[in-house]
């Protein structure tokens, strides 16, 4: 299945084999065997190109979930074994640089509980929390709706907030009481920034490249771009930045999420602390 996912993602047997650290012929054979075992054509191959069939697309999605589940099983077991010798910590995945106030309150509330487990923080890039939770690198995560997918997790809502446009101080729009999304995204002098995708490359476009919030805020202060963010980011605004409410941007809901069959006392304690905030 790992083989198939590699081929399906690369759509190229040679590159997939290289990524898997093996030669191309055995990979070809393995995929053929998988197709025979499933009785289904997974890939449409011509001698020049490889494409997914419908069944292949289904398997790609399901196989990713299955591989994540296997990885999670290994990781969680290892952690459970370590926990018995050391302290039973719990890994909390959260977006780096966001909602630091809420996070602080959560950790305080949890630490105040008797017998609270130690909490290890796992700071993730944009949208990485979901995968961390799925493959067992994290036990619990703070997610932000509607950006992150909570499908398949148990969740508890923590807080909801409006969004604001972060602009360079002194920009004409900062005199306004409120804005609309269309006004902010269509500014010809402040094109929206470009974020790296999962593969580390940036999409094409006019905006400047930003890798994290520090860079982003610096770029805004320099008058090169603007951004729409939850209003809790106001606490982090540095000199030279201004925030204006954006009325029609989706409200952001922060939720705490955990795998549905989690039976860990430590996770339950953290969730309980979270609901008490």
Partner DNA sequence: GTCAGCGATACCGCCCGGGTATCGATCCTG
Partner DNA sequence: CAGGATCGATACCCGGGCGGTATCGCTGAC
Question: By the criterion CB under 7 A, which residues form the site for DNA?
Answer: 12-14, 21-26, 28-33, 45-48, 50
Rounded (5°) CA angle 237-161-249: 90
Task: Give the one residue of 151, 200, 204, 235 binding a copy of itself; rule: CB under 8 A.
Answer: 151
Residue the block writes with tokens 């054979």: 29
Query: Closest CB to DNA among 23 and 149?
Result: 23
Q: Could you give the angle at which helices 54-85 and 2-10 cross, rounded to 10 degrees?
A: 130
Q: Is 104 in the site for a copy of itself (CB under 8 A)?
A: no
Secondary structure class of 94 (helix, strand, coil): strand
Q: Tell me whether residue 91 or residue 226 sits nearer to a copy of itself (CB atom).
A: 91
Which one of 39-47, 109-117, 182-190, 227-235 is the stretch in contact with a copy of itself (CB under 8 A)?
39-47
Q: How far is the CB of 188 from a copy of itself (least distance, A)?
A: 37
Between vectors from CA 190 to CA 241 and to CA 184, what angle results, nearest 5°? 80
Contacted entry of DNA, a copy of itself, none for residue 47, CB cut-off 5 to 8 Å set by kind: DNA
What contacts 24+ positions apart, CB below 8 Å, involve 197-205?
none
Exposed, middle or buried, 169 (CB in 10 Å: 0-12/13-18/19+)? middle
Decide: is 86 part of the binding site for a copy of itself (CB under 8 A): no
CB of 33 to DNA, least distance (A): 6
Residue 51 makes contact with a copy of itself by CB under 8 A: no
Non-local (6+) Cβ contacts of 68 within 8 A are 131, 134, 135, 136
Smallest separation (angstroms) from a copy of itself to the CB of 72: 6
Let me know: does 225 contact 115? Beta carbons within 8 Å: no
Conformational region of residue 269, where left means phi above 0, alpha means psi within -120 to 50, and beta covers everything else: alpha
Query: 175-204: which residues touch a copy of itself (CB under 8 A)?
Result: none
Site stretch for a copy of itself (CB under 8 A), options 100-108, 150-158, 200-208, 248-256: 150-158
Binding part of the chain for a copy of itself, among 96-104, 165-173, 231-239, 260-268 by CB under 8 A, reads 260-268
User: In the complex with DNA, which residue's Cβ is closer, 28 or 150?
Assistant: 28
* Contacted by 222, from DNA, a copy of itself, none: CB < 5 to 8 Å by type: none
Distances (CA, A) of 155 to 140, 192, 265: 10, 31, 16
Q: Which residues bind a copy of itself (CB under 8 A)?
A: 1, 37-42, 53-55, 57-59, 61-63, 65-66, 68-70, 72-74, 76-78, 80-84, 136, 151-154, 259-261, 263
């Amino acid at each position: 299945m790992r083989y198939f996912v590699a081929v399906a993602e690369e759509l190229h047997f040679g590159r997939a084999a290289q990524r898997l650290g093996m030669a191309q012929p055995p990979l070809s054979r393995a995929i053929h065997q998988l197709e025979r075992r499933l009785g289904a054509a997974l890939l449409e191959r011509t001698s020049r190109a490889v494409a997914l069939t419908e069944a292949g697309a289904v398997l790609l999605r399901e196989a990713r979930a299955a591989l994540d589940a296997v990885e999670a099983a290994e990781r969680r077991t290892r952690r459970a074994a370590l926990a018995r010798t050391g302290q039973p910590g719990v890994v909390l995945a959260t977006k780096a640089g966001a909602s630091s106030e809420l996070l602080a309150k959560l950790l305080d509330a949890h630490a105040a509980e008797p017998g609270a487990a130690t909490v290890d923080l796992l700071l993730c890039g944009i949208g990485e929390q979901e995968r961390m939770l799925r493959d067992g690198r994290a036990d619990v995560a703070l997610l932000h709706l509607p950006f992150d997918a909570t499908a398949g997790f148990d969740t508890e809502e923590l807080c909801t907030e409006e969004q604001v446009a972060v602009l360079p101080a002194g920009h004409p729009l900062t005199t306004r009481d409120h804005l609309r999304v269309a006004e902010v995204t269509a500014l010809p002098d402040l094109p929206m920034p470009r974020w790296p995708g999962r593969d580390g490359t940036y999409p094409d476009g006019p905006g400047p490249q930003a890798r994290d919030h520090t860079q982003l805020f610096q770029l805004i202060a320099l008058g090169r771009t603007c951004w729409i963010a939850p209003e809790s980011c106001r606490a982090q605004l540095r000199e030279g930045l201004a925030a204006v409410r954006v009325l029609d941007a989706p409200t952001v809901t922060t939720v705490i999420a955990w795998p549905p069959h989690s039976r860990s006392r430590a996770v339950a304690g953290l969730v309980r602390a979270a609901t008490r905030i």
